[in-house]
Structure 1
Amino acid sequence: MIVHWHRRDLRTTDNRGLARAASTGEPVVPLFVLDPTVLEHASPVRVACLLESLADLRSWYRDRGGDLLVARGEASGVVPQVAAARDATRVVWNEDYSGLARERDRAVRAALEEAGIATESVHDAIHHEPGSITPNQGDHYSVFSYFWKKWRDRDKRVAVDEPAAADLADVSGEPIPSLAELGFDEPEATPPTVTMAAARERVADFCSGPIYDYADRRDYPAASGTSRLSPHLKWGTIGPRELYAATERAAEGASTDDDRESVREFQRQLAWREFYAHVLAFNPETVTENFSGYEHEIEWRDDPDGLEAWQAGKTGYPIVDAGMRQLRTEGWMHNRVRMLVASFLTKDLMIDWRRGYDWFRRRLADHDTANDVGGWQWAGSTGTDAQPYFRVFNPMKQGREYDPDAEYIRDHVPELADATADEIHGWHELEPAQRERLAPGYPAPIVDHAERREQAIELFEQARGESSD
């Protein structure tokens, strides 16, 4: 027999590791390990998504006479035990690129080799593995635009088929544990449906029409102009080659050049995910350390009250608060708003980006280490290709530009339901009596944006050794 160890590839079609296992001619034993070392970094909403995806994947296998084995324990102990119990000659898995994942995989590989069981890892989660798109000097790009030019012109692999029923071993697994059995509370947010069928349905719906408006609508949080595929990409319920092929078919079916450019813009966002995966693969320390060096460490503020207000969506800046409340209720946040709330934390509150990353890690259903570290360091002006430290998002202007009718804000900040769009976007300019009359339960701004902008620029200049003092 041969074991395929599922991790972030909870699908059967376009799964290169699973296809490799099935191609050997030996019966395939699918396995997933609930590793406590990995679960330490998880959250209720993500584990809820994981358990739903596992149940869906198990149903697929059972419908074809096989089963998904779900085991608990340290992967370095469990994987060899399962392989030995099934007389497996080899264990196959798909590569992951975070430091934690690679450390786990090294331990598993060593344990299997000691037991005399062969191992094979396959690149699957992204189109082009780390180290395959490089500058003339160096192991990876740190500027996205250069990476993108090579990524878009590089040939993409085609999706591989799912295994046939005859490829599967006749095995039977134990019940999948519940959230409570794994030590997690019910999530505050309502988890999205993360199954193979839901992923394909979303891809089909998006590529049949909305993708042609993506370039124009993706920055407007009330417009539902994004794909909402991020939880599926996080858990691997859709494969990157299958998704890319769908976008290529959309491009071929486009009726105008603008439509084709809109498809290309969505593909560009897919490339951003791979860019950050490459960066993390070569710089695993960036989960906790600034990518861009500073002459002196940035002296972030210690502001528990400000952090708590930001987490609760009670900063007095409506677009920021709407985003933070969407995160609490949906386990997801619109990408434009993610940039705004991250900028507010790091520039207006001058709180360490790592505090924001940690909060997102605990709240996002689609948390992806590479993507979230890259995004937070971009917003905090400490990462690759980062937002320049002197370019600070103005939350009021951003609200007016991207939520002009305050529709998104009212959806998530009901206290402002009776205020006009001008009153909402001008909340910082209203007199206390006006704010009390319009929304007595909603706070005044907790900081002055203009003042904090200047202070943030000075903070970064000091860290860069550029202060005039």
Structure 2
Amino acid sequence: MPIFWHRRDLRASDNRGLAAAADDADGVVPAFVFDPDVLEHGSDARVRFMLDSLAELQESYRERGSDLVLTRGDPAEVLPALAAGVDAGTVHWNADYSGLAQDRDDRVEAALDGAGIDTETHHDAVLHEPGTIRTNAGEPYSVYTYFWKKWRDREKPEPFEAPDGTNLADASALATDALADSFAGAFDLDDALRAELPSIEQLGFEKPDADVQDGGTAAARDRLDAFCESAIFEYEEQREYPAKDGSSRLSPHLRFGTIGLREVYEATEAAMAEAERRDEAVRGADGDDELGPAQESVRTFQSQLAWREFYTQVLYFNPEIVTANYKSYEAPIDWRNDDDELAAWKAGETGYPIVDAGMRQLREEAWMHNRVRMIVASFLTKDLLWDWRAGYDHFRDRLVDHDTANDNGGWQWAASTGTDAQPYFRIFNPVTQGERYDPDAEYIREYVPELRGLDAAEIHGWVEKSDAERAELDVDYPDPIVDHGERRERALAMYKRARGEDPDE
């Protein structure tokens, strides 16, 4: 009777490790461990999403006549005790690729080995495991474009079937009383084995103020289906505009694994076939071999899946980048780090409307549109001259979809310290970014209600207006806290000094 240890894969369908465990025996014991070390890095929004997803997962097992065993504590102590309680010879899990996760898994594997229990690790959270896509010289890629070209041409695995009741341990064998003796004295925790999910408060968190989207596989599939019915065919054009419903908003589901990547990719391939039909209807079957606009849009969305795997591979081979710059400079970057300016950025009170709209969306929804993430990250690092790590920490505290690899890659890209990052001299102008990607100021008005009475030109012109002109508009919205032009020059000088160059040249 093997155990399958759920972590960032809160689903029964298209789960590589669970499917492998089900192939090995008549009854798999599904388990989840509330690990204090993991919860220490949690947030109200993510824990809420996780509990929603666990509730649905537990119910799916119960519908199959089994159950999800819920435990608390150090997995290196909990899992050997659970294995003893159900007489398991093997514990399966899906790989996680951060340095902390790998250290934890090494400890768990050593503890289980010491107890005479086998372990099997499976690659489930990526379509192509780290290290399988390399340069011709055999090195991991540090440039996305070349990684993407090989990634897109690799054959993708098919989704895995969910185990049925015959492949799962019977619920009667997983009753709390039957296992309680196995945990006695194993670790010093009250109520170590739970039949029911704890509340968010029992885990040390609070109900989030943000309107967090629903967790679970059903919600993930609803989003995927809706996206692949229409928005995916205009993704190339619409994804950059935060006022439009152009993104999939699957990122929390991919982060928690409530839907499998193989299932997502299969849906995009079905969308690609539909896109080809749409493009042919416009240009005719005798058109050239180039992808049409609908096909390009689907391909662009697939490239976003590849970006996630690229950053996962970068983190896997460079675990230190969670706190260290990926790119070396000759001298440390002299970040300015003004606490008042950081506080204004977090509160959405910078006086730059597109920046403030993004930060308020983060507060209200625990999520932010990707284009706006780039804008607010550039503003923090290049206008406020704050160390990217402060922005990363704030996003980790607020985002429901926080993913170590993806967020670290994004922040270091914006700060020009990461792999394949934007050049240090590329500095977003937040005013022109707002004009370009929110031309009618719809997004800004949604999240900055103080500006709803102004027209788009007045909103986008807020920064350039004089103090008297802003006062005349009579709105309760702050003046800009910095001058973008001045800060741009300071940022350029800061990076030049770090590069060992003369800042005056």
Q: TM-score scaled by structure 2?
A: 0.92
User: Aligned-pair distance for 1:174?
Assistant: 1.5
Q: Distance in 2 between matches of 1:75 and 1:383?
A: 33
Q: Which consecutive aligned stretches of 4+ in structure 1 deviate over 4 angstroms post-superposition?
A: none
User: Aligned-pair distance for 1:439?
Assistant: 4.6
Q: Distance in 2 between matches of 1:394 and 1:379?
A: 13
Three-state SS of the structure 2 residue aligned to 1:92 is strand
Cα deviation 1:44-76 (Å, max 9, x = unaligned): 100000011000100000011100011111111
Which residue is 2:228 aligned to?
207
* Residue 398 (structure 2) pairs with residue 363 (structure 1): yes
Q: Distance in 1 between matches of 2:113 and 2:157?
A: 30
Pick which of 248-257 and 164-173 moved more.
164-173
Q: Distance in 1 between matches of 2:244 and 2:157?
A: 33
Three-state SS of the structure 1 residue aligned to 2:24 is coil
Which residue is 2:431 aligned to?
396
Mapping 1:240-279, distance limit 5 Å: 240-254=261-275, 255-256=278-279, 257-279=292-314
User: Aligned-pair distance for 1:438?
Assistant: 2.6
Three-state SS of the structure 1 residue aligned to 2:32 is strand
> Alignment RMSD, CA only?
0.9
Residue type of the partner of 1:307?
L
* Residue 209 (structure 2) pairs with residue 188 (structure 1): yes
Q: Distance in 1 between matches of 2:91 and 2:482?
A: 55
Mapping 1:66-77, distance limit 5 Å: 66-77=66-77
| Contact persistence 1:418–1:438 (CA under 8 A) | no
Q: Distance in 2 between matches of 1:218 and 1:437?
A: 36
Q: Distance in 2 between matches of 1:439 and 1:350?
A: 30
**Structure with bigger gyration radius:** 2
In structure 1, runs of 5+ residues without a counterpart are: none
Cα deviation 1:83-134 (Å, max 9, x = unaligned): 1111101000000000111111001000000000000000000000011001
Q: Distance in 2 between matches of 1:77 and 1:444?
A: 55
Q: Distance in 2 between matches of 1:334 and 1:157?
A: 30
Mapping 1:152-171, distance limit 5 Å: 152-170=152-170, 171=174
Three-state SS of the structure 2 residue aligned to 1:93 is strand
| Contact persistence 2:26–2:166 (CA under 8 A) | no
* Residue 156 (structure 2) pairs with residue 121 (structure 1): no
Q: 1:416 to 1:178 in 2, by over 3 A?
A: same
User: Aligned-pair distance for 1:380?
Assistant: 0.4
User: Aligned-pair distance for 1:468?
Assistant: 5.1
Which residue is 2:255 aligned to?
234
Pick which of 282-291 and 74-83 moved more.
74-83
| Contact persistence 2:242–2:438 (CA under 8 A) | yes
Q: 1:468 to 1:389 in 2, by over 3 A?
A: closer
Q: TM-score scaled by structure 1?
A: 0.99
Residue type of the partner of 1:290?
N
| Contact persistence 2:494–2:503 (CA under 8 A) | no
Q: Distance in 2 between matches of 1:302 and 1:393?
A: 19
User: Aligned-pair distance for 1:191?
Assistant: 1.3
| Contact persistence 1:151–1:271 (CA under 8 A) | yes
Q: Distance in 2 between matches of 1:60 and 1:437?
A: 59
Pick which of 436-445 and 405-414 moved more.
436-445
| Contact persistence 1:130–1:281 (CA under 8 A) | yes
| Contact persistence 1:415–1:439 (CA under 8 A) | no
Q: Distance in 1 between matches of 2:414 and 2:394?
A: 15
* Residue 363 (structure 2) pairs with residue 328 (structure 1): yes
Residue type of the partner of 2:449?
P
* Residue 469 (structure 2) pairs with residue 434 (structure 1): yes
Q: Distance in 2 between matches of 1:434 and 1:33?
A: 58
Three-state SS of the structure 1 residue aligned to 2:223 is helix
Residue type of the partner of 2:165?
A
In structure 2, runs of 5+ residues without a counterpart are: 176-193, 280-291
| Contact persistence 2:49–2:214 (CA under 8 A) | yes
Residue type of the partner of 2:349?
K
| Contact persistence 1:139–1:282 (CA under 8 A) | no
Which residue is 2:179 aligned to?
none
Q: Distance in 2 between matches of 1:289 and 1:375?
A: 14
Q: Distance in 2 between matches of 1:388 and 1:466?
A: 15
Pick which of 238-247 and 168-177 moved more.
168-177
Residue type of the partner of 2:312?
A
User: Aligned-pair distance for 1:25?
Assistant: 2.2
- Say which of 318, 322, 344 aligns to 1:309: 344
* Residue 232 (structure 2) pairs with residue 197 (structure 1): no
Residue type of the partner of 1:26?
D
